[in-house]
Chain A
Amino acid sequence: MNLTFTSIEGKSQGFWILAVTLGALSVIGLTCFMVSYIQGHYVLGTSNIIPWGMPIVITIYLIGLSAGSLILSSLTYVFGKKEYRSISRLAVFLAIVLIFGAMIGISLDLGRPEKGWRLFMFFIMNNMRSMFAINGILYGGYFAIGIFYLGFIFAEKSKWTRALGILAMCWASLVHMGTGAIFGFIAARPIFYSPIKPFEFLAAAMASGLALLIITVVSVFHFTKRKFDRKIIFTLSQMLLVLVIILSVIVGMDKLTHLYVPHREPALWLLSGPFSLVFWGLQVGCGYLLPLLILIHPRFKKTIKGVMIASFSVVIGIFGERFSLIIPGTAYPLPFYPGKIEGFWGAAGSFPFTPVESLMSIGVFAIMGLFFILGLKHLELLPLNEGAEQTPVPAEKG
């Protein structure tokens, strides 16, 4: 199969409206970040009991999407499956944009982002026993590998692409397992603490990355009036089904082991407390059950609409999974001393959504969307489309 790639023209009115909207949202997000930087983090929803808020939820979500997307591009370049070639450039580019967004997310969470460079002084200023510092290597390397990988793909150097593809695939798995280890190795937080966390993160990354890729491919191809092979989407959707099953089994194992002492009370609190709606509704309902039902259903699984709904549901559900890990994970009060701790030291934390934090989070997505459509305009990411008019891509990309 010989494919020629091209960029979109990006001259239509719709493209400019989209670009300006995304630009405005990015500026608003940046302003909110400046507010939180100058005023302090009291403008966010975080506190001493829930130290990590939306920026961290978004960060690990984006890292997952990115790692998943990059791993899937290896189908073409490592495993030589030619039929996926038309979407693989897009997958690699999407992965780079998403990891870029994740890096922004981390810096939004830092109290002193101007000192962020210290994270990258490996072995000199860093404590290399910290999972966070180790992840610094992983994220930095991932970003570099992703860019070189895309460069070699553009240059059509298939030998190098394959070598880098293998490296990128392994590195992406490490990146997401490392992210899982940030949480899984914390003994003090029962909801986090689990040796299976890195694998749960990897499975979630691949499921959500694949779902996002399906959404991106279908909508970009649809809005730019390109034709795509429906078979590819249905094969990908069956892969999504397998990944969702693996993910739900891992999560099930994780929660079941936590239902035994000494983690029983926090686990029960997660499953029945104030955050249970997010867990059961978003994570289990949207993330696992709905896509499973659609992708098993004999008729729905054969329609693009059904696959799209399942993919959207996975993407939203995995976001719920991240949220119901980070926020309740730290909200449950620490058992300092046996007995009932009186007053607020024994009360679970609550997480209010503040305007600054919400706009900041939207800003991260807007910046990524902007980068994505600019990439579509200036890079040759899409297969050549014969004789069709170019129109913009939808806003929710990235």
Chain B
Amino acid sequence: MPRWGMVIDLDKCVGCQACTIACKTENNVPHGSPEEQRSRREIYWNKVIAVTNGKYPHASTELIPMPCMHCDHAPCVTVCPVKATYRREDGIVMQDYRRCLGCKYCIVACPYGVRSFNSKEQEEKEYHRQDLPPDRSVWGPWPFPSRTHGVVEKCTFCFHRIDQGIKEGKKIGEEVVPACVEDCPAKARSFGDLDDPQSQLSRLLSSRGWVRLREEMGTKCKVYYLLK
């Protein structure tokens, strides 16, 4: 069984937020209004944060794209009372919207703030897709019938792409990748099997120094950052 992971090259990231937009489009994540952003209710499955160290004129800012870290020891899986959050065999941490009660305990427990609560029914706008997110006819079964408010949402590593790709016999990590990896103009992200020593990920991880975020939490997350 593969163990999917992601490597993000901080040297290449330009902070263009293309990954955020790609994620929103691919997964039909609602577009937030400025008001929702101010009140911190906008749903982000992927975010890009800017971290500054030092003071002018000796300041440096790092851009850190943050999808779900898909931790091996995920605190959200431990705290979910109804098994709505679970870890698949291939290591992807999933959210089952049919089971989710919306108790938000996982949001509190996640050390990376990658979980969002859907607090509003999606408005009907011409440019919004009201179909099942993403279209069922293309991607097969999706774990929730339609987007609903009152549940917690998060990044899925675009599992629907991976599952479909495996079914079609495609090479995951080269031919099939998550939307954020595909759309990155700087090719800062790569996706693949962490257990496969021949994968591009393993090559990248052995070539450069890397970090994982908040190692002190002991989450053993599967998103690696190559340092500048």
Contacts and interface: CB of A to CB of B under 8 A. Distances in A.
A336 B49 contact: yes
Contact of B109 (A188, A340, A342): A188
A104 to B, nearest CB: 15
B99 A344 contact: no
Interface in A79-119: 109-113, 115-116, 118-119
Given A41-B117, A48-B40, A112-B150, A132 B53 contact: no
Given A47-B40, A111-B151, A125 B82 contact: yes
B51 A47 contact: no
Contacts of A343: 49-50
Interface stretch (B100-108, B128-136, B168-176, B189-197): B100-108
A49 B213 contact: no
B183 interface: no
A51 B81 contact: no
Given A187-B217, A336-B112, A42 B41 contact: yes
Interface in B138-173: 148-152
Given A110-B102, A337-B213, A188 B75 contact: yes
Contacts of A192: 108
B119 A336 contact: no
A205 B107 CA distance: 26
Contact of A111 (B75, B83, B149): B149
Nearest to B64: A337
Interface in A132-156: 132-133, 136
Nearest to A45: B39
B205 interface: no
Interface string B57-81: 0000110101000000001011111
B88 to A, nearest CB: 15
B52 interface: yes
A128 B22 CA distance: 37
Nearest to B66: A336
B120 interface: yes
Contact of B52 (A44, A130, A342, A349): A342
A130 B79 contact: yes
Contacts of B118: 40, 111
A127 B81 contact: yes
Nearest to B53: A339
B81 A112 contact: no
Given A109-B103, A188-B217, A127 B82 contact: yes
B49 A345 contact: yes
Size bracket, chain B contacts:
35 or more
B149 A41 contact: yes
Interface in A259-287: 262
Contact of A115 (B37, B41, B101, B104): B101
Interface in B85-105: 99-105
Given A187-B75, A334-B113, A349 B121 contact: no
B102 A112 contact: yes
Contact of A345 (B47, B52, B214): B47
A340 B53 contact: yes
A266 to B, nearest CB: 13
Contact of B100 (A40, A112, A133, A262): A112
Contacts of B214: 335-336
B151 to A, nearest CB: 6
Nearest to A133: B81
B52 A188 contact: no
Contacts of B61: 342
A140 B40 CA distance: 34
A231 interface: no
B66 A40 contact: no
A242 to B, nearest CB: 33
Contacts of A330: 108
A34 B149 CA distance: 14
B26 interface: no
Contacts of A344: 37-38, 40
Contacts of A188: 75, 108-111, 217
A341 B50 contact: yes
A116 B152 CA distance: 15
Interface of B: 36-43, 47, 49-53, 61-62, 64, 66, 75, 77-83, 99-105, 107-113, 115-121, 148-152, 213-214, 216-217
22 contacts: A40-B120, A41-B119, A41-B149, A42-B39, A42-B119, A47-B39, A47-B40, A47-B117, A48-B116, A110-B150, A111-B118, A112-B148, A113-B101, A118-B82, A127-B80, A188-B110, A335-B214, A337-B51, A338-B51, A343-B49, A345-B113, A346-B49
Interface of A: 37, 39-42, 44, 46-52, 109-113, 115-116, 118-119, 121, 125-127, 129-133, 136, 182, 186-189, 192, 262, 330, 334-346, 349, 352
7 tightest A-B CB contacts, nearest first: A111-B102, A111-B150, A40-B149, A51-B104, A133-B81, A188-B111, A132-B81
Given A41-B150, A132-B105, A337-B62, 20 more contacts: A39-B120, A39-B121, A40-B121, A48-B40, A48-B116, A52-B104, A52-B108, A111-B101, A112-B102, A112-B150, A113-B101, A115-B100, A118-B81, A182-B105, A188-B111, A335-B214, A336-B49, A336-B66, A343-B50, A345-B47
